[in-house]
Amino acid sequence: MAPQSPHLIGEPDAVALAGVANESYAELVARVPGRFRAFAALPLPHVDAALREVVHALDDLGAVGIGVTTTVLGRTLADPLFAPSTRSSFYEELDRRGAVLYVHPAGEGAASPLITGHGMTWMVGAPVEDTVAVMHLILAGIPVRYPRMRILASRLGGALPLLPRRLDDHLAFESPETPELPSVAVGRLWYDTVSHVHSPALVAAAASFGADRLVLGTDFPYEDGEVFPRAVDYIADSGLAPEEVSMILDTNAADLLGLSGAVTGPMHGMAQHARTSRTSCQQVGRSVPPRQVSGRQVQTTACCCS
């Protein structure tokens, strides 16, 4: 489950809302054991408060990572406020723990009226925000500076599957201070598979990043009904090799979230299940009874959704 992000100017309000959200997520996870895992919300841009919430959410509430939006009140995720060189940051704490940072679009059309003013805030703006946010992190050297922090980007990283060579070629004259080639840096991240079942995009991401860097995303509840099973089925139908499909559907998310040891028995074989029943969802906890989705039985546990 990805969190709502209480990124508010007022620190007391941001802290209170993050606390309410995270306690609610923890209660839901406890109410349905083994079905869900949660990413915690942070009261950004208030870094000290966010650091305290990281510790509370991961240690006390059992969150498997942290969720943030692609920008925070107009600041990029590479803003020096969030990764200072003079004191501890929540990035440093996530790195120390080897925890996940999940990055989801803010829904602001990348702050461009050319997007928001023309009815494209989510259809175009969201993948643009994904692309720009990851590039902010790469150009600032965040992935190499915090190599144990596991950054998970939404929607296959936006346009990134198409850009590694172009990014490398432009680096010398546009961003020469970047500490490593973008084509290398993109391989440090993970990406969910939300592409509105567009197989060529998935294939390009697997070729550019490696199938081991892709985890199932469903975009639930925004893709529900008949579209929900297709978010799983299209991976098996994409033309990727069977072992790549198996990684995406069976093991990558559990490995990313540190749950591999808990995935046993009926948890495996998701890829085969997708090919035969056409109705499955990435499982990262213990098996639970299937639910009905538009007349179909869908085996669900926690999904990396965006």
pLDDT value at 18 more than 70: yes
- Residue 290 pLDDT grade (very low, low, confident, very high; cuts 50, 70, 90): very low
Question: Which bin fits 38, alpha (ψ -120 to 50), beta or left (φ > 0)?
Answer: beta
Mean pLDDT, range 131-154, rounded to an integer? 97
- Kindly list the distances between the CA atom of residue 4 and the CA atoms of 52, 58, 217, 239, in Å, as whole numbers in the listed order: 18, 17, 17, 35
Contact 54, 47 (CB under 8 A): no
CB 152 within 8 A of CB 102: yes
Burial level of 304, CB count in 10 A (0-12/13-18/19+)?
buried
Greater confidence, 272 or 163? 163
Query: 83-98 as b/e, with b when 16 or more CB fall inside 10 Å?
Result: beeeeebbbbbbbebe
pLDDT at 273 (0 to 100) = 45
Q: 56-60, 79-83, 144-148, 276-280: lowest mean pLDDT where?
A: 276-280
Q: pLDDT at position 221, please?
A: 81
Taking 80 as the threshold, does the pLDDT of residue 305 lie above it?
Answer: no
- Residue 222's pLDDT is what? 81
Please name the amino acid found at residue 255. Answer: D
Q: Mean pLDDT across the stretch 93-106?
A: 95
244-269 average pLDDT score:
76
Question: In which residue are the tokens 């993109």 written?
Answer: 186
304 vs 72, residue with greater confidence = 72
Q: pTM of the entire structure?
A: 0.85
Q: Is the peptide bond before 127 cis (omega within 30 degrees of 0)?
A: no
pLDDT, tens digit (0-9, with 9 covering 90-100), for 19-60: 999 999 999 999 998 889 999 999 999 999 999 999 999 999
pLDDT mean across residues, the chain = 85
User: By the 8 A CB rule, do 224 and 246 touch?
Assistant: no
Which of 25-34, 45-54, 224-233, 268-277 is the least confident region? Answer: 268-277
